[in-house]
Structure 1
Amino acid sequence: MVTTATGDLIIPLMGTPASVGLARTLVDARIRKWNYFHILDNALLVVSELVTNAAEHTPHKELRLQLSRDAHGIIIAVWDGSPELPRVKPKADLTLETLDLSEDAFDDNGGRGLHIVRALSAACDVTRDPNGGKWVWARIVP
């Protein structure tokens, strides 16, 4: 983990489910240090979604989480080495009738994470990294 002079965090992670919990723990501590308690829950949910997506698309590969702040709020950014840009599933009302709980589809009810990120952030996008891969980021305004 690297802490910059401005207090930003740059955290190298691996594309595993355990990285999500580690990322949440480190971001939680930093946001508390910055006294942004009022956006903590939203920020942790955004971190979870972005790290989970990156880990699922680049399993057992390097990821990077960056948490920074400026005059407009905090920025949560996750880098992965995949050139594939995130695809947002179309919005759909999820009901008990439309939720497929069969054993074959049990783990295939996702794809709504970026809708959650968009709802909780003032802005979010993806930026290709000139050195390869991409950064998926979100800004949360206090």
Structure 2
Amino acid sequence: MVMTAAGEMIVPLMGTPASVGLARTLAASRLYNWDYSHILDDALLVISELVTNAVRQTPNEEIRVQVSRDGDGLIIAVWDGDPHYPRPKPRTTLTLEDLDISEEAFDDNGGRGLHIVQAVCVRCGATRDPAGGKWVWARMRP
């Protein structure tokens, strides 16, 4: 983990499911230090969604999680080596009948996480990294 002089956190992780929980734990500590506990739940939800997407795009490869702040608020960014931008599923009204809860398809009901990120953040987007891959980011007001 790298802590910059400005206090931002940059953490390289492996693209595994365990990285989601580790990213949440490390970010929670940073957010408490910044006295952002009032947005902690939403921020950790955003981290979970962005890290989960990176893990799915680049399994068992390096990802990076960055948590920083500036005069406009909190910035959560996740890098992965896949150059393709994430695509959310189209927005629809979801009912229980729409979900396939069979054991074989239980994990195939995703694709709505970016809509959640958009709902709790002021702005979000994706930016190509000149060195390769992309950063998917979200900005929250404190």
Output the aligned Cα RMSD: 0.7
Alpha-carbon separation, structure 2, partners of 1:36 and 1:101: 36
Aligned to 1:41: 41
- 1:116-127 to structure 2, matched below 5 A, reads 116-127=116-127
TM-score normalised over the length of structure 1? 0.98
Q: Distance in 2 between matches of 1:92 and 1:61?
A: 32
Mapping 1:58-137, distance limit 5 Å: 58-137=58-137
Structure 1 gaps of 5+ residues are none
The total of aligned residue pairs comes to 142
In the TM superposition, structure 1's runs of 4+ consecutive aligned residues that sit over 3 Å from their partners are none
**Residue in 1 that maps onto 2:7:** 7
Tell me the amino acid that sits aligned with residue 91 of structure 1: R
Percent of paired sites with the same residue = 68
Aligned position for 2:138: 138
Where does the alignment leave 5 or more consecutive residues of structure 2 unmatched?
Answer: none
Paired residue secondary structure (2:107) = coil
Q: Distance in 1 between matches of 2:97 and 2:39?
A: 33
* Deviation per residue, 1:27-68 (Å, 9 max, x gap): 000000000111100000000000000001100000000110
